C-alpha cells in the first residue's frame, strides 16, 4: 500500500467507521467460505480478513470452534476450514440469490397460507428459525389469528413451499395449505399486506449505493475496498433474500431485477479484490 493509500485508508475499528454496524466473526467466516470458489480457507486467511474488517482474530478462532460444533463448517486438515453445505440449511438460499427470481411463476390468483397459532413460543431458538423461514418466503399476517399469507406463485406450489419452509426451519406445529374463497374485504386486505412502494424505494436506493461504491472500488486501497464491499454487499444480498417475490399483479418487478443485476456485477469485482488479498496470505 502506498503512503497516500495509507493516509486515506481508515483502519478497521477506527472511530470513523462508527456509522457501520459491527460484523460478527461467525457471519464473516460464513460469508467468506460461502463466496470462495473452493468454500474453504486457512485460519491465517480468515484471521487476515478479520483484521481487515475490524474483527479480532481471536474472535474468529472462537467462532470457528462454535461453527464446527454446530455442523456448519468442518476441518479437513489442520489449519484449514471448509463450509459444510449439508449442515447449513441456509447455504443454498444464500448461494442462489442471483437466481432468486427464477423461483417465481405466473400467479393464478390463489394464496398460500401458514397457520402457526399452535406453535409454542417458549423455545426461543426454534421460534427464531421459524420466524426467519416465514420472512424468507415473504409470508405476512392477515390478522391476529396466526394466519399468514403469500401469493401462491412459487415453483413447486403448496407442496414445494411446505418442504421449503421445513428446510428453512418452520416449526413442526405450523400448517401449510392453500387458501381460497376470501371475501372481497379479505382479498383486498391480503393484497395490501406488503408495502410495495417502500420495497421499490429500498431497492432503487440500494442500487444507487452499489453503483456509487462500484465506481470507487478500483481507486481505493485493496483493504478498504474489500471491507466496504463486503459490508455493502451483505446489505444488498439481505434485501434480495427478503424480497417476497410478489407477482406482477401486486408489484413492479423492475427495481428488484435491476438491483440483482447491479449486485451481480458488483460482487464479481469485489470478489476479485477479496481473493487477491486472501490468496496472498
Per-residue pLDDT tens for 129-161? 999 999 999 999 998 778 999 999 999 999 999
Same domain, 20 and 74: yes
Neighbour-count burial of 35, counting CB atoms closer than 10 A to its CB (0-12 exposed, 13-18 middle, 19+ buried): buried
The lowest-confidence range among 25-29, 87-91, 178-182, 229-233 is 87-91
Contact 170, 201 (CB under 8 A): no
Q: Looking up cell 395490501, which residue turns up? A: 192
How many structural domains does the chain have? 3
Q: Which of 152, 168, 191 is the last residue of a domain?
A: 191
Whats the size of the chain, residue-wise?
Answer: 281
Residue 58 lies in a domain: yes
Over residues 155-169, mean pLDDT: 95
Residue 95 lies in a domain: no
CA 120 to chain centre: 26
Given a cut of 60, is residue 126 above it in pLDDT? Answer: yes
Q: What is the extent of the structural domain holding 66?
A: 13-83
Q: What percent of the chain has pLDDT over 70?
A: 90
User: H or E element: which one contains 176?
Assistant: strand 175-179
Bigger pLDDT: 16 vs 209: 209
Residue 92 lies in a domain: no
Same domain, 232 and 187: no
Q: Which of 28, 53, 83 is the last residue of a domain?
A: 83
Same domain, 167 and 220: no
Would you state the pLDDT for residue 93? 77
Instruction: For 252, list phi and psi in degrees, rounded to 5.
Output: -70, 130
Q: Which of 191, 222, 247 is the last residue of a domain?
A: 191
Residue 159 lies in a domain: yes
Residue 89 lies in a domain: no
Would you state the pLDDT for residue 3? 34
Residue 5 lies in a domain: no
* pTM beyond 0.75, yes or no: yes
* 42, β-bridge pairs: 80
Same domain, 233 and 210: yes
Same domain, 202 and 239: yes
Amino acid at each position: 500500500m502506498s503512503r497516500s493509500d495509507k493516509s486515506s485508508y481508515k483502519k478497521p475499528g477506527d472511530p470513523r467507521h462508527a456509522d457501520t454496524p459491527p460484523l460478527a466473526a461467525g457471519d464473516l467466516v460464513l460469508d467468506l467460505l460461502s463466496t470462495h470458489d473452493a468454500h474453504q480457507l486457512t485460519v491465517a486467511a480468515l484471521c487476515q480478513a478479520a483484521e481487515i474488517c475490524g474483527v479480532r482474530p481471536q474472535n474468529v478462532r472462537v467462532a470457528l470452534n462454535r461453527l464446527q460444533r454446530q455442523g456448519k463448517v468442518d476441518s479437513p486438515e489442520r489449519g484449514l476450514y471448509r463450509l459444510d453445505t449439508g449442515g447449513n440449511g441456509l447455504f443454498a438460499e444464500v448461494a442462489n440469490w442471483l437466481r432468486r427470481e427464477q423461483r417465481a411463476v405466473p400467479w393464478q390468483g390463489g394464496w398460500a397460507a401458514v397457520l402457526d397459532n399452535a406453535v409454542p413460543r417458549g423455545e426461543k431458538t426454534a421460534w427464531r428459525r421459524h420466524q426467519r423461514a416465514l420472512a424468507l418466503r415473504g409470508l405476512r399476517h392477515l390478522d391476529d389469528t396466526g394466519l399468514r399469507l403469500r401469493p401462491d406463485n412459487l415453483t413447486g406450489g403448496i407442496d414445494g413451499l411446505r418442504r421449503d419452509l421445513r428446510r428453512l426451519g418452520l416449526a413442526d406445529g405450523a400448517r401449510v395449505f392453500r387458501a381460497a374463497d376470501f371475501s372481497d374485504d379479505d382479498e383486498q386486505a391480503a393484497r395490501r399486506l406488503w408495502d410495495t412502494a417502500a420495497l421499490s424505494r429500498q431497492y432503487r436506493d440500494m442500487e444507487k449505493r452499489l453503483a456509487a461504491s462500484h465506481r470507487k472500488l478500483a481507486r481505493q486501497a485493496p483493504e478498504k475496498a474489500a471491507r466496504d464491499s463486503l459490508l455493502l454487499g451483505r446489505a444488498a444480498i439481505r434485501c434480495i433474500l427478503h424480497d417476497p417475490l410478489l407477482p406482477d399483479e401486486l408489484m413492479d418487478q423492475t427495481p428488484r431485477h435491476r438491483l440483482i443485476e447491479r449486485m451481480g456485477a458488483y460482487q464479481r469485482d469485489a470478489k476479485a479484490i477479496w481473493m487477491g488479498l486472501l490468496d496472498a496470505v
